[in-house]
Structure 1
Amino acid sequence: MHQRLLEHLNTAVVVLDAQLRVVWMNPAAETLLAVSLVRVKGHTPEHLTGMDAEPIKVLRKALDEQHPYTQREAEIVNVASEVLTVDFTATPISRDELLVEIEPRDRLMQISREEALIARQEAVKVLTRGLAHEVKNPLGGIRGAAQLLERDLPEPQMVEFTRIIIEEVDRLRDLVDRMLGPNRPPLQVPVNIHAVTERVRSLLLAEGDSITMVADYDPSLPEVIGDEGQLIQAVLNITRNATQALNEQPQGEDQTEGEAPHYEITLRTRARRQFTLGHERHRLVCELAIIDNGPGIPETLRETLFYPMVSGRAEGSGLGLSIAQGILHQHQGLIECDSRPGHTEFRLLIPLDGTSGDHT
């Protein structure tokens, strides 16, 4: 009876013997660890999950002292080589048996990061709109004054100076408009996400870069509801950032002279089921990943990556990622980023259950 109850739990449960060898595990544990009980029965946790010494000490301590212990945010590696962050509690059943409950934390931690990212995006939007209002009003006055001054100048050659004032005011106004992002709500029409990615691929291939563009699509994805033009802009901003960053990399020491490093960008689409974005859980979400094999994003930039005017390139305006995040936010979606040397991945997440729209 007790075993049947444990088998129906969503929490992963593993039973170990006095030598910390696997005696039994429920289906939730098999799913989490990507193994079957038949294959791992008799194995120790080090062999099964790649646990380091500290969690093993906790298991041994719980069994020796006959007292429950909990380890928070321990890292384990399942048989599929996925690194998982878990909480686990070791509870002794007897001198010879230890029950281990394992609770995955990765998704909860990811949801917390997403909520923080959404909150930051809202704060940036409010700040940008307030700044735009305060800047554009005096800019209009400066431009008007320069035009009036131009009419009354006694010497024609001095018109050049008023022209400079007007052109610089226009440049600043355009910059403020770009910081604000799209100035209209997104359209709400069916959009084939692969039409978006193929348009971006064709635009970048036409620029003649030596970077390989790889398409890895899930053809079963349904259409998203949104604005094709804005989605193209968001994907293009991120992908062009990647191509520019890769093209600016110096030649490696291990490469022969004249030989360019092999860089590639992959556009990958997948469906994510029962996925939470912010506070809302969606039945189906489209994940569009833009992956490059470059050196990665500097640690100092990762927390402020989507803020306006933040850029890792000397010539960058720092607006591309901010605008892309704003577009996804209007589609009730989100952009996530993970980066390490050799692998940088931007994931555009867009609901597929018809609930997208501007809820800001």
Structure 2
Amino acid sequence: MTPQDIHKPLLDSLSTAIILLDSHLQLCHMNPAAEVLLSISCERCQGEAITHFFHESADTAGELLQAARNADHYTKRHAEWQLLNGEQITVDYTVTPFTNNDGLVIEILPIDRLLRISREEMMASSQETTRGLIRGMAHEIKNPLGGIRGAAQLLARELPGDTFTEYTNIIIDEADRLRNLVDRMLGPNQLPQQSDLNIHEVLERVATMIRAESEDTIRIVRDYDPSIPDMHGDKEMLIQAFLNIARNAMQAMLESHTPAPSLTLRTRVRRQFTIGRQNHPLVIHVEVTDNGPGIPEEMAKQIFYPMISGRAEGTGLGLTISQHLIHQHQGLIECHSEPGETCFSLFLPMDSSHTNSTPMRNRHAEV
């Protein structure tokens, strides 16, 4: 019996992903945690070269062989692994040779979740700082605006005839416009009115409005999971959040004259999903995807900040408001964009007490 055989029961009991290789980098054993991480079966893949299961770089095999020959111990941080199923994961891993130099032990720690938590916390902190600055600015702007508007109204009453009415009306209208702009930057100030709702009813309302606004020039593809139960939330707020995203996609496709413009609404359920530092048993995952020109790389990291827009007529407030509305539902919104495909992913926690609600009928169609 080899040392590997002796330690297999212990390795199988660990939550850390462990892979055992022989001196030729062929798989000897992997524990259940590694099977789950790499989405493969040890029994079926035993004896295969380790580079068959993931691709990191052209030098990966050479590095492992050198470690096996020279009894080198090393650790790599933030390594990007491309798996057999096409998925890409980010891991820290440590390579340790056996004492008799007849193989290697690879310990793998997936860090995608940690990186996402860190990214979300950084974004939330940045957004909160921005909102704090906007609140302070709004206070400083709205107070004098009220005085300017009131003075213009008094002046209009005192001036004889209608000679200067046009000018005083301009002052009043511009003061109102600036006040409304500041209010929109602050976003909705009311708390969500929670009730049971079906996420597909929200998306259907959004689809109807996009069809009307685009005059049926955009194909809307529905890819719904009919098993998704009702959730608890504010229906009007969620409609506004999704509509802002879908409307941005519609405008980008129409203004860029995208051939055969299409908008895809996709729903799925994610289990044991972490938002921030809180783990949720069930989360509704909604994707809003378009085949438009994409978001310029220099803007991609700023699109959720207010007043950031790629359109000459845009206010840059739609995505800011959507993010705020999703955050009020303890949710998360992310964006991935490249030319020809922009996908907004929205994650909404589902109250476990609603998992037995009647789902919407199956929809997987296009209009």
| Length-normalised TM-score, structure 2 | 0.90
CA RMSD of aligned residues (A): 1.7
Any unmatched runs of 5+ in structure 2?
Answer: 1-5, 354-367
Alignment match of 1:280 (pick from 278, 281, 289): 278
Structure 1 partner of 2:238:
231
Alignment of 1:189-200 (within 5 A): 189-200=195-206
Quick check: 1:217 aligned with 2:227? Answer: no
Distance 1:60 1:131 in 2: 61
Stretch deviating more after TM superposition (35-44 or 151-160): 35-44
1:295 offset after TM fit, Å? 2.8
Distance 1:346 1:95 in 2: 49
CA contact (8 A) 2:91 2:109 kept: yes
Q: What's the secondary structure of 1:336's corresponding residue?
A: strand
CA contact (8 A) 2:77 2:92 kept: yes
Q: What's the secondary structure of 2:289's corresponding residue?
A: strand
1:354 offset after TM fit, Å? 6.5
Alignment of 1:1-360 (within 5 A): 2-93=7-98, 94-207=100-213, 208-250=215-257, 261-353=259-351
Distance 2:307 2:326 in 1: 19
CA contact (8 A) 1:92 1:98 kept: yes
CA contact (8 A) 1:58 1:69 kept: no
Distance 1:350 1:275 in 2: 10
CA contact (8 A) 1:45 1:51 kept: no
Distance 2:53 2:329 in 1: 42
The amino acid of 2:328's aligned partner reads: Q
Distance 1:249 1:15 in 2: 53
CA contact (8 A) 1:331 1:350 kept: yes
| Length-normalised TM-score, structure 1 | 0.91
Q: Give the % identical residues.
A: 53
Q: What's the secondary structure of 1:157's corresponding residue?
A: coil
Distance 2:218 2:268 in 1: 23
Compared CA separation, residues 354 and 120, structure 1 to 2 (3 A): farther
CA contact (8 A) 2:281 2:352 kept: no
CA contact (8 A) 1:16 1:24 kept: yes
Q: What's the secondary structure of 1:196's corresponding residue?
A: helix
1:90 offset after TM fit, Å? 0.7
1:338 offset after TM fit, Å? 1.6
Stretch deviating more after TM superposition (229-238 or 50-59): 50-59
The amino acid of 1:319's aligned partner reads: L
CA contact (8 A) 1:308 1:319 kept: yes
The amino acid of 1:132's aligned partner reads: A
1:339 offset after TM fit, Å? 1.7
Compared CA separation, residues 354 and 117, structure 1 to 2 (3 A): farther
1:75 offset after TM fit, Å? 1.5
1:288 offset after TM fit, Å? 1.2
Distance 1:248 1:101 in 2: 51
Stretch deviating more after TM superposition (38-47 or 303-312): 38-47
Distance 2:217 2:69 in 1: 61
Distance 1:195 1:204 in 2: 14
1:225 offset after TM fit, Å? 1.4
Distance 1:130 1:353 in 2: 35
Once the two structures are superposed, residues 38-83 of structure 1 have per-residue CA deviations (whole angstroms, 9 ceiling, x without a partner) of 3322222332212312433332232122131111111221111111
| Number of residue pairs aligned between Structure 1 and Structure 2 | 346
CA contact (8 A) 1:274 1:283 kept: yes
Stretch deviating more after TM superposition (42-51 or 104-113): 42-51
The amino acid of 1:158's aligned partner reads: F
Once the two structures are superposed, residues 207-233 of structure 1 have per-residue CA deviations (whole angstroms, 9 ceiling, x without a partner) of 214222111112222222111001000
Distance 1:149 1:199 in 2: 46
Distance 1:350 1:188 in 2: 13
Compared CA separation, residues 173 and 354, structure 1 to 2 (3 A): farther
Distance 1:70 1:238 in 2: 42
The amino acid of 1:65's aligned partner reads: N
CA contact (8 A) 1:289 1:346 kept: yes
Displacement over 3 Å in runs of 4+ = none
Once the two structures are superposed, residues 93-125 of structure 1 have per-residue CA deviations (whole angstroms, 9 ceiling, x without a partner) of 131111111221222211111111211221122
